[in-house]
Structure 1
Amino acid sequence: MTKGARDLFGTRVQLSRVRSRARTVAVLVLAGSVALVFIWLRTLVAPADQPVAGGEPWLKGLGSARDGTITVIVPCFKQRAFIGETLHSLAAQTYPPASITVVDDASPDGCAAEAVRVLLDLRPQRAAQRAALAQWLRNGVDVPAPDFRDDEVLTTEPPSRGVAAARNRAIRLSVSAWICCVDADDLLKPSYFELAMREVAVEPALNLLYANQQFFGESSWRWDVPEWSPQAAVAAGPLPVSALLRRELWSATPYGFDEAQPRGHEDWSLWLQLVRLPVRAKKLPNFLLLYRFRASSKKRTREARNPEVVRLLRTLYPDLYPPRALLDDHAALLAGGLTPEVLADARVSRARASGRSAPALWLGMHSEHAGLLPDAMREYAAAVETRARYDWQPLLRLACLAARLGDQPVNARACGALMQLWSEEQRRWYLRPDDSASAGGCCPAADAAAAAS
């Protein structure tokens, strides 16, 4: 073969190799494009969230079999139209709850019957989920399976006791390590529990998990929930109610969801009680909680009609708020009294929570506002008898009204007890006669000392 022929042949071979490589690249690019298109199409026709598969390594981080169990609490009052959608949302979790408890709070619309119907339809699916969950949590170890309660519907004889009582009742019956309260018209994204339990598997000390909240219905607002902090809890009640909470953390609070509080802001009372406890919180970065917004909802309109409920809530926890803020709340309550709805709730709380001083304090301030001074004196005296040792509020209100009525013995006793709680600096600050927002004039001896200083 001549040199020219060899050069030509070599050129042809090189060209052939280049063309072959080009065809290979083109095939790979085409294959990659087809794969991407296939994946894109799959996301359109298949669910984004798939159930957890048994034996996944992260499940071993949950510790004992019970540590990974969740009970969902669903109070229902006049939510028959939405309860089915909520229950299907819970059954669609990729990490299923061990049990679902619906509490019909004497709802007049047949909510209990609808919940029973839906749970019966879901029963085969839920039985399979519980069996799979038990197997996952045993992690292949020969240990007893977790003790699951069946999904159930609890009913309440009229009258309604309120959402706080409904939640507490179901939580007391639960046997799971975790609880999650979901309102009967709200939804959860399918991956919420799985993402939360993955975090627990990595950090077993966690006892509170939550996510961002997406509004739907009459609003599309997105709530980027702040990080948990005691300061945020005291200021505004920082978390959605559908946070995941270790049951032992709920058990460590004095009241759980505080049933003495007039209706409204029930979840805030729970977050306030957590301020005193060793909370280990974790926020999931996703929008996993779906809140059905309805401008005309009973809860929303009630809170708008009864703004004094927030003031009453603060008086329930006087160790968490400065006296100056509580004195401002007292001044507003004495000036405006309680709305009929809140007054009715306060009377119910007075009867049901007879060992708590706050309901008697509220009724005393309302009676004083209405000019029913003997009634106010009786309520304040009852509040003094049941007050916590650190709670100065009933003493102050009794001292002020006794001074107003000229009852010196009662005034002297109440002021004497109050002086044991307040430091000299506090006496000077809060008992100044020239400050209309203070308690000036309530304790004459202390007023004189404050004026002299």
Structure 2
Amino acid sequence: MSRAPKVSVVIPCYNHGVFLDEAVASVLRQSCTDLEIVVVNDGSTDPFTVDLLKSYDRPKTRVVHTQNAGLASARNTGIRNALGSYILPLDADDRIAESYLERAAAILDERPEAGVVYCDQELFGERQGLWDAPPYDRTAILFDNLVFATALYRKSDWERVGGYSSRFVYGWEDWDFWMSMTELGKQFVKLPEPLHFYRIRSSSMNRSMRFRHKMAMMLLLVARHRALYLEALMHEPGRVFRAGAGSFAHVLDRARRG
């Protein structure tokens, strides 16, 4: 029996077959070669994607077919089928730089207290630019998703937190996941370079999220991580209310009142 790979890159794909080869090729170009790619066909209906994934044959790559259940469920399915000790989620229309996996895995290898390794982003597609990801902060992450989804972590920690919550039907399942990792006491380490390439499209999920959906997701975040919010309210009340003065204000009041 062959040895399991160190890293599993999990790529959910829903009707993004036109971009998939770019994502897969960026993984196959990694300086870290001890890897596998798990593509999850999340019930695609686009004829091109359906035909592509019927017989998708790329090195170190396998395809898992599921009924459409959303991004969180697709990621969980891919990770459940992954053989690697380390997990990197990657959207089917994004790419990663050649050294990302090697450098991120080295940190997890050397630092058992580190739980998540992330980096800066380069934007491409309908808009170009750089996103200098802020350093992780235990209080700041309660009000802003500081860490994008394509970060490396241990599969064992995914198991401990119960995976991604499928209740975040409008998005932010990654934000919720990072809060769960925070509750485990995991350290977040940032690589200060743009090693992830994020494609901007007019149909990007976060850009199209309506206000009422954002409010619903905020309420769910606070309900699932109430202890984190109450801890911050107790120790840094001024900072918390400054950070949450906008949409989070009445949500915080609910958390305080129970």
- The TM tier, using the shorter chain, reads 0.7 to 0.9
CA contact (8 A) 1:90 1:96 kept: no
Where does residue 133 of structure 2 map in the other structure?
Answer: 225
- CA 1:200 to 1:299, structure 2 compared with 1: closer, same or farther past 3 Å? closer
Where does residue 168 of structure 1 map in the other structure?
Answer: 76
Where does residue 198 of structure 2 map in the other structure?
Answer: 291
Please state if 1:92 is matched with 2:29.
Answer: yes
Compare the two structures and name the one with the higher helix fraction: 1
Please state if 1:306 is matched with 2:177.
Answer: no
Where does residue 194 of structure 1 map in the other structure?
Answer: 102
Moved over 4 A (4+): 322-327
Where does residue 114 of structure 1 map in the other structure?
Answer: 52
Where does residue 329 of structure 1 map in the other structure?
Answer: 251
Please state if 1:267 is matched with 2:205.
Answer: no
- CA deviation after TM superposition for structure 1 residue 112, in Å: 4.7
Q: Find the residue that maps to 2:228 and give its secondary structure.
A: coil
Question: Aligned-pair RMSD on alpha carbons?
Answer: 2.8
CA contact (8 A) 2:121 2:198 kept: yes
Q: C-alpha separation between the residues in 1 aligned to 2:74 and 2:152?
A: 17
Cα deviation digits, residues 276-324 of structure 1 (max 9, x gap)? 1121332112210000011333452135673323323333332233499
Cα deviation digits, residues 21-65 of structure 1 (max 9, x gap)? xxxxxxxxxxxxxxxxxxxxxxxxxxxxxxxxxxxxxxxxxxxx8
Unaligned ranges ≥5, structure 1: 1-64, 127-150, 332-391, 394-425, 431-438, 440-453
| Identical pairs, percent | 28
- CA 1:214 to 1:308, structure 2 compared with 1: closer, same or farther past 3 Å? same
Q: Following superposition of structure 1 onto structure 2, how do residues 344-363 of structure 1 map, counting pairs within 5 Å? A: none
Where does residue 356 of structure 1 map in the other structure?
Answer: none
Q: Find the residue that maps to 2:52 and give its secondary structure.
A: helix
Where does residue 3 of structure 1 map in the other structure?
Answer: none
- CA deviation after TM superposition for structure 1 residue 262, in Å: 2.6
Where does residue 38 of structure 1 map in the other structure?
Answer: none
CA contact (8 A) 1:214 1:290 kept: yes
Q: C-alpha separation between the residues in 2 aligned to 1:172 and 1:241?
A: 17
CA contact (8 A) 1:262 1:309 kept: no
Q: C-alpha separation between the residues in 1 aligned to 2:93 and 2:33?
A: 19
Q: C-alpha separation between the residues in 2 aligned to 1:199 and 1:173?
A: 24
Cα deviation digits, residues 213-248 of structure 1 (max 9, x gap)? 100111122111122232132121210111001111
CA contact (8 A) 1:84 1:114 kept: no
Paired amino acid for 1:308: M
Q: Following superposition of structure 1 onto structure 2, how do residues 384-395 of structure 1 map, counting pairs within 5 Å? A: none
Where does residue 243 of structure 1 map in the other structure?
Answer: 151
Q: C-alpha separation between the residues in 2 aligned to 1:201 and 1:316?
A: 30
- CA 1:96 to 1:294, structure 2 compared with 1: closer, same or farther past 3 Å? same
Q: Find the residue that maps to 1:73 and give its secondary structure.
A: strand
Q: Following superposition of structure 1 onto structure 2, how do residues 347-426 of structure 1 map, counting pairs within 5 Å? A: none
Where does residue 276 of structure 1 map in the other structure?
Answer: 183
Q: C-alpha separation between the residues in 2 aligned to 1:305 and 1:93?
A: 40
Q: C-alpha separation between the residues in 1 aligned to 2:17 and 2:171?
A: 21
Give the TM-score taking structure 1 as reference length: 0.48
- CA 1:195 to 1:116, structure 2 compared with 1: closer, same or farther past 3 Å? farther
- CA 1:194 to 1:327, structure 2 compared with 1: closer, same or farther past 3 Å? closer
Give the TM-score taking structure 2 as reference length: 0.81
Q: C-alpha separation between the residues in 1 aligned to 2:6 and 2:174?
A: 22
Unaligned ranges ≥5, structure 2: 234-240
Q: C-alpha separation between the residues in 1 aligned to 2:183 and 2:252?
A: 24
Where does residue 72 of structure 1 map in the other structure?
Answer: 9
CA contact (8 A) 2:113 2:186 kept: no
- CA 1:272 to 1:241, structure 2 compared with 1: closer, same or farther past 3 Å? same
Larger Rg: 1
Q: C-alpha separation between the residues in 2 aligned to 1:197 and 1:84?
A: 23
CA contact (8 A) 2:70 2:169 kept: no
> What number of residue pairs does the alignment pair up?
240
- CA 1:292 to 1:306, structure 2 compared with 1: closer, same or farther past 3 Å? same
- CA 1:303 to 1:267, structure 2 compared with 1: closer, same or farther past 3 Å? farther
- CA 1:191 to 1:303, structure 2 compared with 1: closer, same or farther past 3 Å? farther
Paired amino acid for 1:152: R
Q: Find the residue that maps to 1:262 and give its secondary structure.
A: coil
Q: Which has the higher contact order (CA 8 A, sep 6+)?
A: 2
Q: C-alpha separation between the residues in 2 aligned to 1:248 and 1:176?
A: 10
CA contact (8 A) 1:72 1:97 kept: no
- CA deviation after TM superposition for structure 1 residue 195, in Å: 1.8
Q: Find the residue that maps to 2:139 and give its secondary structure.
A: helix
Q: C-alpha separation between the residues in 2 aligned to 1:85 and 1:276?
A: 35
- CA 1:71 to 1:193, structure 2 compared with 1: closer, same or farther past 3 Å? same
Q: C-alpha separation between the residues in 1 aligned to 2:227 and 2:113?
A: 27
